[in-house]
Every structure is written in structure tokens, then in C-alpha cells.
């Protein structure tokens, strides 16, 4: 294995164990969500037509869980060295409950085709050797939405909110006609977002990031030049397709895109969670 691959593996192992102090399946117990179409047996009808707003656009509101990558596929993609992690992962963070891009956002690239710039790869290796408490600000786009927890979208006429169960994070996506600023005086962990509709697709542009978050558990980073474009399309009641394009010319040689299908958790909700509460493992694991 190359030095780069070894660093990536060590980083992933560290973050996997340090990430969560608590986790739970997010739901109000047995509460049927009003307005949910149902089959004859009372189950949510996920293939029913997507709901629409008064303005005729699809309503993206709901609790959504990304597709998960099975244990077998995780082993196939990342090797049997994850066996110990699979056995020891804390409840609520079991391998098989994440998306493959949570482990490595560049997994679809062959090593020789990776868009990571050489100088960025060197920085990656250095950061991997000097990792501290990953709970402090590590979660960003897209990692916060690819782990073992769902997200919740709340859509209003001039603002759409994305609420992450992971660490209680939230995003504001303004749809009131404003444009992104040309300069950002205060870079943010989740950036600044504006959205607009292209027919039935909700397009979100985000910029103004700081460089303190990671893309994945491998530890791939980005610069403050990062710009992200997300496309959300709700094809029916229970399915949401999300396409995310990352453009960071300081860190990557070209933009790249990931596609992550989501399924509605119709009678569920997100729970409150804090990663840092009484977290004492990071200082030991970093050694």
C-alpha cells in the first residue's frame, strides 16, 4: 500500500472511533406523519406522487436517509483491514450504515486518476499525522449527511433549511432572490447558500467555506476557494436524488461530482445529538 493509502487508512480508523459519543435511530415513536399517503396495510406509500407547494414546485420537506453501503461492499472497496472496525464500531455507527463517500469521497477514481493535487496530497498526509479532536468542526459538506444519521429538510417560500442530526448542525438556503456575495468576510464551516429552481430541480450554490472541515473519513480536505453546487430532485413521495459537484481549484485539478440517492423516513424525525459531550478519546487516539 502506498504511503498515501496508509495515511488514509489510519485517518479513517481514528475518525471512525472518535466520531460519536451517542447515536440513536431518529424518530418520534410510532407517530404517523400527517399528509403521508399510505398503502392498504397502513404503510407509507413511497411511490406516490411527490407533494407540491402552493407555487407548484416539489416540496422537499421531510426526513431523509441516504442510501447505505453494505458491509460486503465496504470490504470490497476498502479492504478487509476494516474487519476490526466492523466488530468494534459503537452502536449507531455500525459499518453498513454509512455511504461509501463517507469513507472516501474519491473512491470512484483510480489512484492514478485522482484529482487531488500533489501539494494537497502532501498536506493531507501531514494533517493525518497531527490529528486532534475530530469532533471539533470536522463535519462539513458532504460528510455530515453521509454518516449513520438522517437529515431533515424544511422548505419554506423564501428559505429552505437542512437540519443534520449529526452534531446538531443546520444550513440556511436562501431562496429570496439574493446572490452569493463576491467576497466573504467570515468564512463558515458549512458555507453560505442560495437556491433556485430549474423546473423541478432545486439547485443550491454554496461558497464562503473555511478550510477546517473534511470531505470524508479519509481526511480529504479543501481550501476556502471551494464552491459546491447541489441538485435536489424529488421524483416521487419517498425518493430524493441528490447530486453534488465540488469545485476547488486550489486543492483539486478539476471539479468532481457524486450522486447520492435518499429515501424518506416517513414516520420519523431527527434527534438531538452532540459529538463533543464528554469526549475524551481523541487525545489518546491521536498518540
Q: What is the DSSP string of 257-272?
A: EEEEEEEE-TT-----
Give yes or no for a contact between 151 and 164, defined as CB atoms under 8 angstroms apart.
yes
Whether the per-residue pLDDT at 285 is higher than 50: the answer is no
Give yes or no for a contact between 62 and 44, defined as CB atoms under 8 angstroms apart.
no
Give yes or no for a contact between 232 and 202, defined as CB atoms under 8 angstroms apart.
yes
Peptide bond into 168 cis (omega under 30): no
Set of cell numbers at residue 102: 463517507
Whether the per-residue pLDDT at 267 is higher than 70: the answer is yes
* Interacting residues of 77 by C-beta distance below 8 A, sequence separation 6+: 69, 100, 103, 104, 107
Mean local confidence (pLDDT), 60-83? 88
First to last CA, the chain: 22
Set of cell numbers at residue 138: 470536522
pLDDT of residue 84: 52
Give the three-class secondary structure for 210.
coil
Mean local confidence (pLDDT), 124-138? 55
Q: Residue 135 — pLDDT band, cuts 50, 70, 90? A: low
**In the block, residue with C-alpha cell 430549474:** 198
Domain ranges of the chain: 3-32+51-276+279-285
Share of residues in the chain with pLDDT > 90 (%): 66
Give yes or no for a contact between 187 and 137, defined as CB atoms under 8 angstroms apart.
no
Helix (H) and strand (E) counts in the chain: 6, 9
Segment among 81-90, 101-110, 170-179, 221-230 with least mean pLDDT: 81-90
Q: Residue 89 — pLDDT band, cuts 50, 70, 90? A: low
Dist. CA 216–CA 102, nearest whole Å: 5
Hey, how many other C-beta atoms are within 10 angstroms of the C-beta on 170?
A: 13
Predicted structure pTM score: 0.84
For 188-232, how does the pLDDT look when each residue is reduced to its tens digit (9 = 90+)?
999 999 999 999 999 999 999 999 999 998 889 999 999 999 999
Q: Residue 286 — pLDDT band, cuts 50, 70, 90? A: very low
Set of cell numbers at residue 16: 471512525
Q: Which is more confidently placed, 243 or 82? A: 243
| CATH code of the domain occupying 3-32+51-276+279-285 | 2.40.128.20
Residues for the chain: how many in total?
Answer: 287
Whether the per-residue pLDDT at 24 is higher than 80: the answer is no
Amino acid at each position: 500500500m502506498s504511503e498515501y493509502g496508509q495515511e488514509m487508512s489510519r485517518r479513517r480508523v481514528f475518525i471512525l472511533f472518535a466520531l460519536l459519543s451517542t447515536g440513536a435511530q431518529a424518530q418520534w415513536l410510532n407517530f404517523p406523519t400527517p399528509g403521508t399517503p399510505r398503502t392498504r396495510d397502513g404503510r407509507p406509500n413511497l411511490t406516490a406522487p411527490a407533494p407540491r407547494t402552493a407555487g407548484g414546485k416539489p416540496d422537499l420537506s421531510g426526513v431523509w436517509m441516504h442510501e447505505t453501503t453494505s458491509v460486503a461492499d465496504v470490504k470490497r472497496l476498502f479492504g478487509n483491514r476494516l474487519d476490526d472496525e466492523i466488530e468494534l464500531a459503537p452502536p449507531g455507527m455500525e459499518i453498513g450504515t454509512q455511504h461509501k463517500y463517507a469513507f472516501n469521497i474519491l473512491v470512484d477514481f483510480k489512484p492514478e486518476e485522482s484529482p487531488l493535487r500533489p501539494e494537497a496530497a502532501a498536506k493531507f498526509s501531514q494533517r493525518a499525522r497531527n490529528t486532534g479532536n475530530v469532533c471539533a468542526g470536522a463535519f462539513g459538506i458532504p460528510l455530515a449527511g453521509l454518516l449513520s444519521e438522517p437529515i431533515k429538510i424544511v422548505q419554506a417560500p423564501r428559505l429552505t433549511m437542512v437540519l443534520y442530526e449529526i452534531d446538531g448542525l443546520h444550513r440556511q438556503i436562501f431562496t429570496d432572490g439574493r446572490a452569493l456575495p463576491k467576497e466573504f468576510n467570515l468564512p463558515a464551516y458549512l458555507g453560505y447558500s442560495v437556491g433556485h429552481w430549474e423546473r423541478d430541480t432545486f439547485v443550491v450554490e454554496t461558497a464562503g467555506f473555511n478550510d477546517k472541515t473534511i470531505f470524508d473519513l479519509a481526511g480529504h480536505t479543501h481550501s476556502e476557494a471551494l464552491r459546491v453546487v447541489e441538485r435536489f430532485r424529488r421524483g416521487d413521495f419517498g425518493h430524493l436524488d441528490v447530486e453534488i459537484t465540488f469545485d476547488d481549484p486550489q486543492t483539486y485539478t478539476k471539479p468532481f461530482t457524486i450522486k447520492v440517492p435518499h429515501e424518506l423516513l416517513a414516520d420519523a424525525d431527527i434527534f438531538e445529538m452532540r459529538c463533543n459531550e464528554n469526549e475524551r478519546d481523541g487525545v489518546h487516539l491521536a498518540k
